[in-house]
Amino acid sequence: MLKKVLGLLVSAGEKRTGVNLDYAHQIAKTDFGLMVRYGKIFSFLDPNKNVSAEAYHTARLRGAIAADCGTCVEAEINLARKAGVSRDAITAILQSTYSALSDELQAVARLSDAVVGQRQDDAEARAKVLDAYGEAGLIEISFAMNGAALLPGIKRAMGYATICDLQTLRKIG
């Protein structure tokens, strides 16, 4: 019975993200406790309370792009669209055309790229993020970028990674 309920919750997640979560269905079928732990990842990522939707989804998109270029990025595009992030902003974030973004969003994108993409620091970008969003905002952006980069790794380790599809990076729901 619990596995059926978990399956329904995963199906709801598929509707929310607009992508197939076959690996999450496998976790739910395999072990209740593991699914509960997996669910904690999402509670770690959501909700976004300390920064704008644009800043939050900039971090999530750049985090997902650092780790994946398939359905995880597609899910992040869909979530950003649902949160009201403009098509132009999503395009700029996906294409790394940061000059089209506000100074604050440029800093979020640069910090995300440095941390999750290059495993480096960008003290200047971090200072701008702190100035724009405060300490709580910086922490939330840190959770967003790293959490979005974590999910593709789980999927890949379980053998559910999709073939890299650069068209996904160009897709704006």
Local confidence pLDDT in tens for the 173 residues of the chain = 888 888 899 999 999 999 999 999 999 999 999 999 998 887 777 889 999 999 999 999 999 999 987 889 999 999 999 999 999 999 999 999 999 999 999 999 999 999 999 999 999 999 999 999 999 999 999 999 999 999 898 998 999 887 666 665 565 54
Count of domains for the chain? 1
Structural domain contains residue 162? yes
Structural domain contains residue 159? yes
Q: What is the dihedral of CA 103, 107, 108, 111, to 10 degrees?
A: 170
- The CATH code of the domain that includes 124 is 1.20.1290
Structural domain contains residue 97? yes
3-state secondary structure of 28: helix
Structural domain contains residue 16? no
User: Are residues 70 and 164 in contact, defined by beta-carbon separation less than 8 angstroms?
Assistant: yes
- Count CA atoms within 13 Å of residue 15 on its CB side: 6
Read off the pTM. Answer: 0.91
3-state secondary structure of 29: helix
Instruction: Report the candidate in 150, 138, 124 with the shortest Cα–Cα distance to residue 68.
Output: 150
Mark 101-134 as b/e (b = at least 16 C-beta within 10 Å): beebbbbbbbbbbbbbbeeeebeebbebbeebbe
Query: Can you give the pLDDT at residue 172?
Result: 58
Q: What single string gives the DSSP state of each residue in 65-109?
A: HHH-SSHHHHHHHHHHHHTT--HHHHHHHHTT-GGGS-HHHHHHH
Structural domain contains residue 70? yes
Tokens standing for residue 89: 């902003």
Structural domain contains residue 33? no
Query: Can you give the pLDDT at residue 3?
Result: 84
Structural domain contains residue 119? yes
Distances (CA, A) of 127 to 93, 134, 170: 20, 9, 30
User: Are residues 62 and 149 in contact, defined by beta-carbon separation less than 8 angstroms?
Assistant: no
Domain around 149: 48-170
Query: Can you give the pLDDT at residue 15?
Result: 94
